[in-house]
Structure 1
Amino acid sequence: MASPGKKAFPLRIDPALWAELQRLAANDLRSVNAEIEFLLREALARRGIKVQPPARGADDAGDGGDPP
């Protein structure tokens, strides 16, 4: 299930590419989804487009932020 505030969509991807994404994600201690987001932001930055990453823990319930 998608995190609140994030757009979910199906992605068809070549199995060899998926395997490389899994390897990269594991090396960076990220999920494959987070790795794909990272790589997309990196590609956009190379084109001069800056997209702010979400605040850490913004999608997590009980993230240790302000009490209710």
Structure 2
Amino acid sequence: MAEKKSLLLRLSPKMWEEISRMAEEDFRSVNGQIEYIIQQAINKRRSSSKSNSDKAGEGK
């Protein structure tokens, strides 16, 4: 497995509590939950970018 990068992240107490609650519901660590949320956002952006480029190609 590739070595992971470290990151210092500052969160509001409210956001920490929400992420902590989500992590507990999903049986993940808080760190694992944050990684999961970021990965979902990356995947959503990739699919959104792909569909936007597909739509742009339709006009030709």
Aligned to 1:19: 17
1:7 is paired with a residue of what secondary structure?
coil
Question: Percent of pairs identical after alignment?
Answer: 39
Greater share of helix: 2
> Unmatched 5+ residue regions in structure 2?
48-60
Give the secondary-structure state (helix, strand or coil) at the position aligned to 2:9: coil
Q: What is the RMSD computed on CA atoms of the aligned residues?
A: 1.4
Over residues 10-64 of structure 1, what are the superposed CA-to-partner deviations in whole Å (9 max), with x where a residue is unaligned?
1111110000000000000000000000000000111116xxxxxxxxxxxxxxx
- Runs of at least 4 residues of structure 1 off by over 6 A? none
| Bigger Rg, structure 1 or 2 | 2
TM-score by length of 2: 0.71
Distance in 1, Cα, partners of 2:22 & 2:43? 19
The match for 1:6 is 4
How far is 1:9 from its partner?
Answer: 1.6
Question: Which residue of the other structure, out of 44, 47, 56, is the alignment partner of 1:46?
Answer: 44
Report how many residues are paired: 46
